Amino acid sequence: MIGSCPTAAVSGRRTIELCRLTPPRSGTLCANLPVVPTASDLATLVRCAHRIHLDATGDPADRVPASDFLQFLWEEGRLHEDAVIAEMDVTPVSRGPSPPERVAETVRLMRQGAPSIYHGYLEHQGLRGEPDLIERVEVPSPLGSFSYLPVDIKSARAFEDEAGTRPKRRYLMQLCAYAELLEAHQGRRPVVGKIIDRDGATQSLDLARAWPDYLAIRGQLQGILSGEEATHPGWKGACAYCAWQDRCWEELVASDDLTTVAGLGEGTRQKLLPVGVTTATELAGADPGTLVAANGIGQKTAQTLTRQAKAQKAGKPALLAPWAPPSAEFEVSYDVEDFAPGPFVYLHGLLIRKTGARRFGEAGFTDADWGSFEPVCAELPETEEAVWRRFLERVRTLERRGEYRVYVYSHHEKTMLKQLAETYGGSAELNAFIDRFVDLLQVVRNHVVFPTDGRGLKALARFIGFEWRDQDPGGAQSMAWWAEYEKEPAANRRLRDRIIAYNEDDLRATFALRDWLECFAAPSAPSLG
C-alpha cells in the first residue's frame, strides 16, 4: 500500500516481446577444453554474440532456470517435430552411440542412398551439427547420382514477412552450417535448404545467396570462441528468455549501458555512439538537438530518449501533460488471456467498480474497493465460441447498468475482440464496449515519463507500489499453465484457478495505474510542456 501519488523505488525489468529460443547446451563446458561450435550456435549468434561467449565460458551457477513457459515452448517444438515425422518415411540415426559412431552411421546411410535420414550427426574441422532431416535429392555428387540437402523442422514461420520474401536469418545460418558439413561428407555443397514450418508446409531457402553472410558469421563465431573477438551484452527481445539474463543485466547496469534506458535497443545504441553518447548518464545530460546529428534519430525521438534517461537517473516520474480520466457512472478493467498460436481466447477478465469507490493509494483502501471481479473463463471441453457467447451476454448487461469506461493496457484486447467478432459474430453492445476503451499505455506515452527500465504494466504497477500475489506472474506463464490444464482438466483445475487469480491481479494493476495517473497527472499539476 502506498500513500497519495508517491514516488517509489524503481523495480521491474523491461517488458520483452515473446520469442522462441533454443534450449541451452546440455552439460557443463570446461574452460580448459576447446569448444566445438554447433550449427545451432550460428543461429544463436545472429541473435546475440554475447550468449555464445557466456555459453562457452560462463559460470553455470549464473544461469537462470528455464521458466514454465520456456519449457512449454521446447515441448511444443518437440511435439511439432514428432507430428511431422510421424507422417514421413524416415531412417533414424540412434542418439545412443558416441559422436564418432553417430557420424559413421550417418555417412553409411548417405552412401547407401537412404531417402530421408532423421537426426543424422556430422562433424568436420571444428563444426558439428544434427539436422532434423537429411533429404536425398537426385543431384549428382561423389556419392553417385544423388546427394543430400538439409531440412530443419521449426514450430514457427520460416520468413520474417507475410509475403515470404525474407527468410529468417538465423534459419539460413543454421542450414548453411549443415550444408558445410554435408559438403565435407558428400563432396558437394547443397545450394538449397528446407524448413518445415509450424503449419507443416515445406519452404525452400536459397543457401547459395546466403553463403557470403554465412562465412562472415562463421568467422565471427570462431573469433568469439577463440577469445580473439570480445563481446558485450545489450538488452534485446531475446534476453527475457535467456539463461544469462540476470548476469547480463548486472553487467549492463554496472557499465551504465545505453540499452538500460527504456525503449532504447541495440540499433539505437549504435546510432548514438558516433555522436559521443556512450552511456545512459551521457544520454540524460545530452541536448536533444545534438542527438539529431545521429543517422536516423529525429527531434521527437531525441527528446523522448533524453527525457527517459533523465527520469531513470533521477528515479522520479516526469509529467509531460495533465490528464484526467473521462467521467463515468462506473469503470471496468478488462484483460484477456489467450493461447498462441491460434489464438484461443480462454479468459475474458472484467473487474467492475463504482465511480465513488476508494482509489488505490487512498487511506482506508481495502481489497473490497477493487470492485466486483467477473471473469468469463473456459472450462474444458468448452470451445472458444461458447466462451465468446457468454462474454457477449456479459457485455449486454454492462450496457444496461449505465455510462461506463473500459480501461486496458495496450491494443491487444481491442485486436482480440475484433478478431473474435469477425470469427463468431459481434453485437451493437460489443461495439459500444470497444468505443469506451481507455488505453493506459497511450495515456502514459502522452502524459508521463516513468523512471522504470521498461514500459510494461508490471514495471509501472510495481513502481507505484502494486504487487501480484502470484510468485511467478506473466501472460506467457499463463499460457504454460493453460497448456497443462488442457492435458488433464480435472486433475489440473488448480492451474485454471491460478490463471483466473493472475488475471484478477492484472485487472487490479490496471486500476492501480489509472488511479495513480489521475492523481499525478491532475490538470492542476505542473508539466514539462
Cross-strand bridge partners of residue 118: 92, 133
pLDDT at residue 343 in the model: 65
Q: How far apart are CA 148 and CA 7, in angstroms?
A: 63
DSSP 216: H
Do residue 91 and residue 64 come from a single domain?
Answer: yes
What is the rounded average pLDDT of the residues 213-232?
A: 94
User: Contact 14/459 with Cβ under 8 angstroms?
Assistant: yes
Are residue 202 and residue 56 in the same domain, yes or no? Answer: yes
Higher per-residue confidence, 83 vs 16: 83
Choose the final residue of a domain: 263, 285, 315: 315
List beta partners, residue 192.
206
Q: Which has the closest alpha carbon to 38: 52, 49, 57, 21?
A: 52
Confidence of residue 356 (pLDDT cuts 50, 70, 90): confident
Per-residue model confidence (pLDDT) at position 342: 62
Strands 372-373 and 318-319: unpaired
CATH of the domain at 504: 3.30.420.10
Average pLDDT (173-202) is: 96
The kind and range of the H/E element at 405 are strand 404-408
DSSP H/E element including 376: strand 376-377
Pair 362, 309 in one domain: no
Task: Quote the cell numbers at residue 305.
Answer: 530518449
Angstrom distance (rounded) from CA 407 to CA 80: 37
Look at residue 34 and tell me whether its pLDDT is greater than 90: no
pLDDT for the residue 339: 81
Please check whether residues 47 and 153 belong to one and the same domain: yes
pLDDT, greater one: 11 or 286: 286
Alpha carbon separation from 78 to 42, 75, 159 (Å, rounded): 21, 5, 20
**Count of domains in the chain?**
3
Question: In this structure, is residue 29 part of a structural domain?
Answer: no
Peptide bond into 233 cis (omega under 30): no
Q: Are 159 and 215 contained in the same domain?
A: yes
What's the pLDDT at 27?
35
Mean pLDDT within 282-309: 93
Q: Which amino acid is at 370?
A: W
Give the end of a domain, one of 315, 342, 366. 315
Other Cβ atoms less than 10 A from the Cβ of 60: the count is 10
State yes or no: pLDDT of 279 exceeds 80: yes
Contacts of 468 (CB under 8 A, 6+ apart): 458, 502, 505, 506, 509
289/348 same-domain check: no
Q: Is residue 176 part of a domain?
A: yes
Range scoring the smallest mean pLDDT among 65-79, 165-179, 181-195, 372-386? 65-79
pLDDT recorded at residue 295? 85
Element (H, E) at 151: strand 147-153
Secondary structure (3-state) at 472 = coil
**Amino acid 16: pLDDT:** 34
Q: Within a domain: residue 16?
A: no
pLDDT at 475 over 90: no
Range of the domain at 81: 39-226
Q: Does some domain include residue 240?
A: no
Instruction: Please tell me the distance from the alpha carbon of residue 415 to that of residue 413, in angstroms, as a whole number.
Output: 5
> Out of 26-35, 45-54, 329-338, 505-514, which region has the weakest mean confidence (pLDDT)?
26-35
Per-residue CA distances from 501 to 249, 367, 388 (Å): 30, 13, 20
Report the percent of the chain where pLDDT is more than 70.
92
Neighbours of 373 (CB within 10 A): 17
Is residue 498 in a domain? yes
**Which region, left, alpha or beta, applies to residue 333 given φ > 0 means left and ψ of -120 to 50 means alpha?**
beta
What is the model's pTM? 0.80
Please tell me whether residue 368 adopts helix, strand or coil conformation. Answer: helix
Domain contains 445: yes
Cα maximum dimension of the chain: 83
* CA-to-CA separations, 173 to 18, 37, 85, 503, 523, in angstroms, rounded: 22, 13, 23, 40, 54
Judge if 290 and 352 occupy the same domain.
Answer: no
Q: For the chain, what's the residue count?
A: 529
Domain stop point among 315, 345, 365: 315
Residue 36 — pLDDT band, cuts 50, 70, 90?
Answer: confident
pLDDT of residue 8: 38
Q: Tell me, yes or no, whether 349 and 410 share the same domain.
A: yes
Indicate whether 146 belongs to any domain: yes
Residue 33 has pLDDT above 60, yes or no: no
Cβ-based neighbours of 71, under 8 Å, separated by 6 or more: 480
Report the pLDDT value the prediction gives residue 526, as an integer from 0 to 100: 77
pLDDT of residue 15 exceeding 60, the answer is no
Contacts of 257 (CB under 8 A, 6+ apart): 232, 233, 234, 235, 251, 269, 279, 280
CA 106 – CA 195 distance, rounded (Å): 20
Q: Is 186 exposed, middle or buried (0-12, 13-18, 19+ CB in 10 A)?
A: buried
Looking at the structure, do residues 218 and 297 belong to the same domain, yes or no? no
- On whether both 168 and 289 belong to a single domain, the answer is no
> Would you say 396 and 364 are in contact if contact means Cβ atoms under 8 Å apart?
no
What's the N-to-C CA distance of the chain in angstroms? 31
What string of DSSP letters covers 72-116? HHHHHHHHHHHHHHHTS--EE--SSS-HHHHHHHHHHHHHHT-SE
For residue 66, give the C-alpha cell: 528455464
Q: How confident is the model at residue 6 (pLDDT cuts 50, 70, 90)?
A: very low
Asked if 221 contacts 126 with a C-beta cutoff of 8 angstroms, the reply is no
Tell me if 317 sits within 8 A of 521, measured CB to CB: no
CATH of the domain at 272: 1.10.150.20
Q: Quick check: 4 pLDDT over 50?
A: no
Residues 222, 358 share a domain:
no
Going by C-alpha positions, the residue among 46, 207, 22, 21 that lies closest to residue 130 is: 22
For residue 259, give the 3-state DSSP assignment: helix
pLDDT grade, residue 126 (50/70/90)? Answer: confident
Within this chain, do residues 47 and 135 fall inside the same structural domain, yes or no? yes
- Report helix, strand or coil for 337: strand
Give the pLDDT confidence of 400-410 residue by residue, as tens digits.
999 999 999 99
Residue 9: inside a domain: no
**Number of helices and strands (H, E) in the chain?**
18, 16
CA 518 – CA 438 distance, rounded (Å): 13
How is residue 254 written as a grid cell? 554496472
